[in-house]
Chains A and B, each alone.
Chain A
Amino acid sequence: MIAVGIVWPAVQTIGLAFVDAHGRFVGLQNFVSVLQNPETVDLGRFPFHSPPWGSLLHNAVWIVLHLPLSVILGLLLAVLLQRAHGAAFLKGVVFLGMVIPMIVGGVLVRFLFDEHAGVVNGVLRAVGLAAWARTWTDYPQTALFALILGSVWLWTGFAMLLYSAGLTAIPRDYYEAAAVDGASPWQQFLHVTVPGLRPMTTVIVAMTVLWELKLFDLVYTATLGGPGGSTLVLALQMYFYGFRALDPNRAAAVATLLSLLTLAVGVGFVRSSREGA
């Protein structure tokens, strides 16, 4: 069942990526055509013009911004909520972003940045930045960044949950020993907490990068890749090529490209967890 449902289709997709519409072998031509398309990489606009920069670069920008933000926020929350009052409730609410369907996540992000109904613009107006108040997802200059911020908001719960579990696994003696040696709380954090959480960090980074590469639902409901392709990502591009433009070969090339990236992350993760074990 797994072979029929996953392995064989994946192999067929690789096959599709190397042939043309008539089934003739064309080598890397589909990949070249995809990579030269400004929908994938638009070096004419990146980085000095506003998006669209192309799906591949959008995914890359997503990783560069979303990964550090969500990991650091997750760690901060885990430490902050270790002993705070009402921590269980707060953790539950933060983690909701991981429980709800990403289709609803997209609605929430769109809602947050709406000109009239969105709380982000309400806050901006309240602090005197009314000029910034507009529907962020409707303008190419801001849509990508609005979605990235929204995705940080949705995903932070994952890092927080794993870091919380990791924190309880660090023996209390380590902190006591460090305190006896005269380490300040900040030094304890740097020299006990951070190294103690390293295995968790590996897991979190791998899962987060995978999520950033595979983004689909969130973008689908929030902007559908728009406006003007400024939030297009690889997974959505594959869907448009394969199921809207009915071009299975270029769709397969995009899918294969995306899989190469995700599998690289997978290989890295297996390697580092072997070393850790």
Chain B
Amino acid sequence: MGDREDRRRAGGARWRWRDVARDVVAWLVGLIWIVPFLGILMSALRPQEELLDGWWSLHPLTLSFRNFAAAWNHPSVPLSSGIRNSLTVAIPATVLPVLLGAMAGYGLLRSRSRARSPLFVVVVFLLAVPQQMVAIPLFKLLVQLHLINSFAGLVAVHTAWGLPWIVMFLHNYFATLPAELEEAAQLDGASRMTIFWRLVLPLALPGLAAAAALQFTWVWNDFFFALITIYDPSELLATQRIPLMRGQYLVDWGVLSAASVLVMAVPVLVYTLLQRNYVRGMVGWTLR
């Protein structure tokens, strides 16, 4: 018995101690990320007077949705219409490039072209180019086309900007699907279009979801393109309204926090719902 005890002390107990230490360190480090997010949530839920000594002092603790209501119905930049506008842009600016990208990616794959390597180079370069590089000519072009203050113009810009990596990502995804099914369908006399819509797209659903999740988040989070295309106060997107809610001298942290929570809730929701696809997309496109 003593023998076994010794062995456990030497091996098992030491290992368990190490595991506990690792967990403690992991959670302590994790607190650095948990606390600020908790802070913004607390500020959003509490009145301004309670935040003056820091949101972590808990007496008195009054929780309410007043700040959310104030941000939603803000007198100069109501977040309600900001969120509506952002959805009006983000939904078509996701559906359009994902559909076009799927068709282009599939076409490239089946034409057996040697486009893969040049496509990768193009995507990396487009990833590298800052938005500021196209800003002035793009602005002038949109003025000429009467697409300033137009959601359609912004959707077109996002579609052009998102398309290259979506094509590459979906091209690579289609390449992993088994070719036998398509060949069988072809023998049965199905047309190219039928095969694509009825067979390839349903099979590629996880890939499409990954591309859509990333593109939607990217468009929703975008600020710069919105800043240079949308000027009409009633048309401002959600991200454009956040900086305008900051007072000149005194920051109303309650309202600003509530607005921030609302605006970030949308991509966070997309991320939580499609977490596995999202991560796969993130890792996928950086690794080809």
The stretch of B72-80, B168-176, B188-196, B251-259 that contacts the partner chain: B251-259
Shortest C-beta distance, B201 to chain A (Å), equals 21
A5 to B268, CA, bound (A): 29
Residue of A nearest to B22 (CB): A84
Q: Give complex CA distance A165, B278 in Å.
A: 13
| Binary flags per residue of A243-277, CB closer than 8 Å to B gives 1, else 0 | 10000100110111011001101100110010000
Residue of B nearest to A252 (CB): B136
> What separation, in Å, do the CA atoms of A102 and B220 have in the docked complex?
11
Q: Are B30 and A5 in contact (CB under 8 A)?
A: no
Instruction: Indicate if A100 sits at the interface (CB-CB under 8 A).
Output: yes
Q: Interface code A101-113, partner B: CB below 8 Å = 1, 0 otherwise?
A: 1111011101110
Is B58 an interface residue, CB under 8 A from the partner? no
Distance in angstroms from A77 CB to nearest chain B CB is 7
Q: For B37, what are the chain A residues with a Cβ–Cβ distance below 8 Å?
A: 93, 96
Residues of B within 8 Å of A, CB-based: how many? 79
Q: Flag the segment in B2-10, B62-70, B156-164, B179-187 that touches A.
A: B156-164
| Contact string against A for B residues 2-30, beta-carbon threshold 8 Å, 1 for contact and 0 otherwise | 00000000000000000100110111011
Closest-by-CB residue of A relative to B43 is: A117
Are B137 and A8 in contact (CB-based, < 8 A)? yes
Instruction: Determine whether B287 belongs to the interface, using a CB cutoff of 8 Å to chain A.
Output: yes
Taking the closest CB of chain A, its distance from the CB of B245, in whole angstroms, is 9
A6: contacting residue among B26, B27, B129, CB under 8 A? B129
B197 at the interface (CB under 8 A from A): no
On whether the beta carbons of A221 and B39 are closer than 8 Å, the reply is no
- Bound state CA distance, A241 and B53, in angstroms? 40
Whether B35 is near chain A, meaning CB under 8 Å from some CB there, is yes
Interface contact A242-B133, CB-CB below 8 Å:
no
> Please, how many angstroms separate the alpha-carbon atoms of A76 and B29 in the complex?
10
A179→B138 CA distance, assembly (Å): 58
Contact B127 A216 (CB under 8 A): no
A-B Cβ contacts below 8 A, count: 238
Decide: A4 near B133, CB < 8 A? Known: A117-B55, A153-B33, A161-B283: no
Is the CB–CB distance between A117 and B30 below 8 Å?
no
Is the interface on chain A under 10, 10 to 19, 20 to 34, or 35 or more residues? Answer: 35 or more
Asked whether B205 is an interface residue with its Cβ less than 8 Å from the other chain, the reply is no
Report the Cα distance A47→B116, complex, angstroms: 46
B134 within 8 A of A: yes
Contact (Cβ within 8 A) B223 A116? no
Q: In the assembly, what is the distance between CA of A266 and CA of B128, in Å? A: 6
Q: Does A16 contact B (CB under 8 A)?
A: yes
- List, in ascending order, chain B residues with CB within 8 A of A273's CB: 288
Option from B125, B160, B279 in Cβ contact (under 8 Å) with A1? B160
Is A103's CB under 8 angstroms from B39's CB? no
CB–CB B161/A114 < 8 A: no
Whether B282 sits at the interface, judged by CB under 8 Å, is: yes
Name A75-96 residues within 8 Å CB distance of B: 76-77, 80-81, 83-87, 90, 92-96
Q: Are B26 and A87 in contact (CB under 8 A)?
A: yes
29 contacts between A and B (CB under 8 A): A2-B126, A2-B163, A4-B160, A6-B160, A6-B161, A9-B135, A13-B135, A77-B29, A80-B22, A84-B27, A90-B33, A95-B271, A97-B33, A103-B239, A104-B242, A104-B263, A108-B36, A112-B39, A116-B52, A117-B43, A153-B32, A161-B283, A213-B130, A234-B132, A238-B132, A242-B132, A255-B130, A256-B133, A258-B132
The 10 A-B pairs with the shortest beta carbon distances in the complex, nearest first, are: A5-B160, A266-B128, A9-B137, A101-B221, A9-B134, A12-B137, A84-B26, A100-B264, A90-B30, A238-B132
Q: Which residues of A contact B (CB under 8 A)?
A: 1-2, 4-6, 8-10, 12-13, 16, 76-77, 80-81, 83-87, 90, 92-97, 99-104, 106-108, 110-112, 114, 116-119, 122, 153, 161-162, 165, 199, 203, 207, 210, 213-214, 216-217, 220-221, 224, 234-235, 238-239, 242-243, 248, 251-252, 254-256, 258-259, 262-263, 265-266, 269-270, 273
Other 12 A-B pairs with CB < 8 A, given A106-B243, A238-B132: A9-B134, A96-B33, A103-B221, A111-B39, A117-B52, A153-B32, A162-B282, A216-B132, A251-B135, A259-B128, A269-B124, A273-B288
